[in-house]
Amino acid sequence: MVGAIILVVGFIILLKGLRLVDNSLKVLAIAKEAASVMQNSTLDDRQKEQALQKHAIKLFSLFILIFFSSAAAIGLPVGLIWLLEQTGVLSMMAVIYFTLTWQFILASTVFVYVILWLFRKK
- Percentages of the chain per state (helix, strand, coil), in multiples of 5: 85, 0, 15
Cβ–Cβ < 8 Å for 81, 93: no
Q: Mutual orientation of helices 92-99 and 102-118 as an angle, nearest 10°?
A: 80
Q: What are the distances in angstroms from CA 59 to CA 5, 15, 16, 24?
A: 33, 19, 20, 10
Indicate the DSSP class of residue 43: S
pLDDT tens digits for 5-62? 899 889 989 988 999 989 999 999 999 999 999 999 999 999 999 999 999 999 999 9
Q: What is the pLDDT of residue 54?
A: 96
pLDDT tens digits for 69-102? 999 999 999 999 999 999 999 999 999 999 999 9
